[in-house]
């Protein structure tokens, strides 16, 4: 299930995308469960998805996850705006993540 914080970020991105005719890419890390969650983003209106999967990603903290996603995004394309949910809805992970 897409958590409420990520849902809000997706909704804001979709609205901005409509105004500026931009492509919306939903990203994530995780397991096969994350695939189902990201697919819901397509249903909501995202244009494409990218998911980083692997056993080594399972035990990353929020900071490491953010750095890993940022590195992957730098290699896969150019993004004008990156939006994310405030934190995980179930564990509150990411609440204290700060990237300079």
Mean pLDDT by 10 residues, the chain (100 residues): 82 94 88 83 92 82 85 86 66 50
pLDDT of residue 86: 60
pLDDT of residue 37: 84
Residue 8 host element (H or E): helix 4-20
pLDDT of residue 100: 45
91 Cα distance to chain centroid: 16
What span, in angstroms and rounded, lies between the C-alpha atoms of 76 and 23?
14
pLDDT of residue 97: 46
pLDDT of residue 32: 76
In the chain, where the domains are located: 4-76
CA distance readout (Å), 64 to 41, 78, 87 = 23, 21, 14
pTM of this prediction?
0.76
The three-class DSSP label of residue 62 is helix
pLDDT of residue 56: 82
| Tokens found for residue 94 | 């990411």
pLDDT of residue 94: 54
24 Cα distance to chain centroid: 11
pLDDT of residue 90: 52
């Amino acid at each position: 299930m897409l958590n409420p914080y990520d849902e809000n970020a997706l909704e804001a991105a979709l609205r901005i995308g409509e105004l500026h005719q931009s492509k919306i890419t939903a990203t994530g890390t995780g397991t096969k469960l994350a695939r189902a969650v990201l697919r819901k983003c397509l249903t909501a209106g995202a244009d494409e998805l990218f998911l980083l999967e692997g056993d080594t990603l399972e035990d990353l903290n929020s900071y490491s996850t953010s750095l890993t996603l940022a590195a992957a995004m730098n290699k896969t394309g150019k993004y004008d705006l990156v939006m994310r949910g405030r934190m995980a809805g179930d564990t509150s992970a990411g609440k204290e993540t700060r990237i300079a």
